[in-house]
Amino acid sequence: VIKFLMTDLGVMATMTQSLDPATCVAVVEGFGKIVDGNDEYDDDDDEISEESALEVGFVTQEDDLSTLKPRPPVVTIMGHVDHGKTSLLDAIRNTDVTAGEAGGITQHIASYQVEHNGQKITFIDTPGHAAFTDMRERGANITDIVILVVAADDGVKQQTADSIVCARQAGVPMVVAINKCDLETADPTKVMTELTSYDILTEEFGGEVLVSKISAKQGTNLGDLLDKIMLQAEIEDLKANPDRSAEAIVIEAYVEKGLGTVATSLVKKGTLKVGDIFVAGETYGKVRALISTNDGKTRLDEAGPSVPVRIVGFEGIPSAGDPLVVMDDEQTARTLAESRQRISRERSSASYQNNLMDSIALSFGANKERREMCVLVKADVQGTAEALTRALRELKLENDEAIVSVKVLVSEAGEVSKTDVAIASVTPGTTIIAFNVAASMAAMEDARVQNIPIEYYSIVYDAIESVESRMQEILSPTP
């Protein structure tokens, strides 16, 4: 431990020295272990310790029950494509003028807060289910309630079922919003009947799941939906201690001209203030500004539990799902971030070796050639880039002779740049995927000269489909 402290963390420790908590965590993480609120040490089953440690991945002082105060529910909208998720997000936003106007804002809105009957509700728009599940895999459960949107004229579809599974696995309660009730072909009863085969029993069917019949397009019955959300929130008894140093979760991060890295984050507990020093995953920083996600411009002095906020002041770019924890001093924050970087570098080189061994074994064992389709992924926000990358990495095609997989060379937020084209030019056949982003003029020109395809998408399935068909060609080239 002393050797590690000295050589890896630069702490000149002695046998009898006391260490601050951050250094302790850095040591534990340095030895490849994870610090959590292990049940072994937690014999009275106490929700709070699980929350503080597991979700944030960091040991913090547990909050005394008496310090907990009610906090707004954090809501995510899920459902099948075209059933009205975006329309609903926009419509709810419009019910509350304080939430700002939906129009005129070009920046992707990841989250906002509305006030309903004097009570606040936080809405988070996670880019696709993948991001929702990714975050959960990392222990960052940010959602308290899922609104399951089902179109009354279309009923339960594949992604409706996926959403149900997703919410169930996360242990998050659902409120059903039967949308498009303005249509003549609307049949809410049929929707509720279909839902029973997924064990979702609404009140009319003798169950307890709350339902609202709405029209996002016409703004009908949205107040009822918000009432049901508050009712569900009351059942969940959501609480946090606002009077302590803050812990938040990064939802997405991007670079904005003039501001540097900006991360939309959700405060889980405590109150985040301008000037706070923090560590967030493998990076750290000092809060230079807090910007309201509602309008993207109002500066806030502080943000309490369940408040979504844009944080300015990062040294590097954090990843979606990274826990952000306020620290006492900058040195400790940096030490922790740097030691995490080192550890993840070591791990990825170890997993690279393993992959190499796997692929050698596979190609010898099965006598199959391994081929790769190389892509660069650029997207409007980091979370989307990550979600798309994850989906692409899962693709695999094979026949008797060969196996084709996808190699993602770059996955990040931002427009397609000259550098991206340069990276793509190194490996012939590389495709640049631009998701909801453009390419700079210079990049387009370079790509044209070097004959490197830049493909533009705004729908994940389209991007995946196109990559799959290219993989098929690599697998069995048409003569």
Site residues (vs ligand GDP, CB under 6 A)? 79, 81-87, 179-180, 182-183, 215-217
Going by their DSSP bridges, the two strands 454-457 and 369-379 should be labelled as unpaired
Cβ proximity to ligand GDP, 225 vs 373, nearer residue: 225
Instruction: Kindly state the smallest distance separating residue 6's Cβ from ligand GDP, in Å.
Output: 54
Instruction: Kindly state the smallest distance separating residue 182's Cβ from ligand GDP, in Å.
Output: 5
What is the distance between the alpha carbons of residues 476 and 76, in angstroms, rounded to a whole number?
A: 42
Cβ proximity to ligand GDP, 50 vs 182, nearer residue: 182
∠ CA 435-440-446, nearest 5°, is 105
Instruction: Kindly state the smallest distance separating residue 214's Cβ from ligand GDP, in Å.
Output: 7
Instruction: Kindly state the smallest distance separating residue 93's Cβ from ligand GDP, in Å.
Output: 12
Instruction: Kindly state the smallest distance separating residue 199's Cβ from ligand GDP, in Å.
Output: 23
Instruction: Kindly state the smallest distance separating residue 278's Cβ from ligand GDP, in Å.
Output: 33
Tokens 């806030």 sit at which residue?
A: 300
**Amino acid identity at 258:** G
Cβ proximity to ligand GDP, 155 vs 270, nearer residue: 155
What is the distance between the alpha carbons of residues 233 and 394, in angstroms, rounded to a whole number?
A: 36
Beta bridge partners of 312: 262, 289
Cβ proximity to ligand GDP, 83 vs 334, nearer residue: 83
Cβ proximity to ligand GDP, 99 vs 216, nearer residue: 216
What is the distance between the alpha carbons of residues 345 and 357, in angstroms, rounded to a whole number?
A: 18
Cβ proximity to ligand GDP, 182 vs 194, nearer residue: 182
Cβ proximity to ligand GDP, 86 vs 440, nearer residue: 86
Tokens encoding 99: 């939430």
Instruction: Kindly state the smallest distance separating residue 216's Cβ from ligand GDP, in Å.
Output: 4
Tokens encoding 367: 């006598």
Length of the chain: 479
Cβ proximity to ligand GDP, 90 vs 330, nearer residue: 90
Instruction: Kindly state the smallest distance separating residue 186's Cβ from ligand GDP, in Å.
Output: 8
**Radius of gyration in angstroms for the set of CA atoms belonging to the chain, rounded to a whole number:** 24
The answer for residues whose C-beta is within 8 angstroms of residue 66's C-beta and 6 or more apart is none
User: What single DSSP character describes residue 104?
Assistant: T
Instruction: Kindly state the smallest distance separating residue 153's Cβ from ligand GDP, in Å.
Output: 8
Cβ proximity to ligand GDP, 196 vs 220, nearer residue: 220
What stretch of H or E contains 420?
A: helix 418-426
Helix, strand, coil share of the chain (percent; to 5): 35, 30, 35
How many CA within 13 A on the CB side of residue 454? Answer: 28
Tokens 């405060």 sit at which residue?
A: 267
- Is residue 220 within 8 A of residue 214, CB to CB? The reply is yes
Instruction: Kindly state the smallest distance separating residue 88's Cβ from ligand GDP, in Å.
Output: 7
Beta bridge partners of 150: 178
Instruction: Kindly state the smallest distance separating residue 126's Cβ from ligand GDP, in Å.
Output: 13
E strands, 10-110, are: 69-70, 74-79
- Is residue 426 within 8 A of residue 376, CB to CB? The reply is no
Tokens encoding 178: 């039967």
The Cβ of residue 224 has, within 10 Å, a number of other Cβ atoms equal to: 15
Tokens encoding 44: 């009275």
The Cβ of residue 141 has, within 10 Å, a number of other Cβ atoms equal to: 18
Instruction: Kindly state the smallest distance separating residue 147's Cβ from ligand GDP, in Å.
Output: 11
Cβ proximity to ligand GDP, 87 vs 359, nearer residue: 87
Tokens encoding 237: 């008894």
∠ CA 219-222-225, nearest 5°, is 155
Cβ proximity to ligand GDP, 70 vs 219, nearer residue: 219
